[in-house]
């Protein structure tokens, strides 16, 4: 049974996280999605995440055809994800089940021990103003 994270305030998000570049998808907070990972840098980022707090920064690549992206190939806003499950596949790839926790802005990305690590700043979601029948008519 998969347990959803009820509230991101339960999770302490650090200022630095390993980065998992993702292709052809944008992951949002509260989404739960399986990801297949084959790049060595990405697998090292997942391993580091699993050995610490299970948190990883999911950042979409600007061009999905680039096999080995650089920090300049990644968008500057991503989603902090919680790795819920991990399975090593026979072909060397890894399958993870990840849940988006909160949005984050990338302040800086560097290479650390053969994976990307990002300095981040949490982005708070703004609550929309309450719409009432009276306000919607104006």
More confident residue, 133 or 68: 68
Q: Is residue 6 part of a domain?
A: no
Residue 126 lies in a domain: yes
- The reply to whether 116 falls in a domain is yes
- pLDDT tens-place string over residues 16-63: 999 999 998 999 999 999 999 999 999 999 999 999 999 999 999 999
pLDDT at 8 over 50: no
Distance of alpha carbon 34 from alpha carbon 51, whole angstroms: 20
- What SS3 class is residue 122? strand
Please report the pLDDT score of residue 76 as a whole number: 97
In a domain, 26, yes or no: yes
Nearest to 27 by CA among 96, 128, 127, 101: 101
pLDDT computed for residue 4 by the predictor: 52
Structural domain including 74 reads: 12-136
Q: Check whether 6 has a pLDDT greater than 70.
A: no
95 part of a folded domain: yes
pLDDT of residue 82: 97
- Which of 49, 61, 65 minimizes the C-alpha distance to 22? 61
- Residue 132: helix, strand or coil by DSSP? coil
| Interval 7-21 mean pLDDT | 83
Residue 5 lies in a domain: no
CA pair distance 82, 56, nearest whole angstrom: 7
CATH code of the domain containing 92: 2.30.130.40
pLDDT of residue 48: 96
How many domains are there within the chain?
Answer: 1
What pLDDT, in 10s, does the model give residues 92-130?
999 999 999 999 999 999 998 899 999 999 998 777 677
On whether residue 2 sits in a domain, the answer given is no
In a domain, 7, yes or no: no
Q: What is the pTM of this model?
A: 0.84
3-state secondary structure string, 39-91?
A: CHHHHHHHHHHHHCCCEEEEEEECCCCCCCCCHHHECCEEEEEEEEEEEECCC
């Amino acid at each position: 049974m998969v347990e959803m994270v009820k509230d991101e305030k339960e999770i302490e998000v650090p200022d630095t996280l390993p980065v998992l570049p993702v292709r052809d998808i944008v992951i949002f907070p509260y989404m739960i999605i399986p990801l297949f990972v084959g790049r060595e840098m990405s697998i090292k980022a997942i391993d580091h995440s699993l050995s610490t707090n299970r948190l990883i920064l999911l950042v979409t690549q600007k061009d999905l055809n680039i096999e080995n992206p650089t920090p300049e190939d990644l968008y500057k806003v991503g989603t902090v994800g919680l790795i819920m499950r991990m399975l090593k596949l026979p072909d060397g790839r890894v399958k993870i089940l990840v849940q988006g926790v909160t949005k984050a802005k990338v302040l800086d990305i560097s290479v650390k021990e053969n994976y990307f690590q990002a300095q981040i700043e949490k982005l708070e979601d703004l609550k929309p103003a309450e719409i009432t029948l009276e306000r919607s008519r104006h």
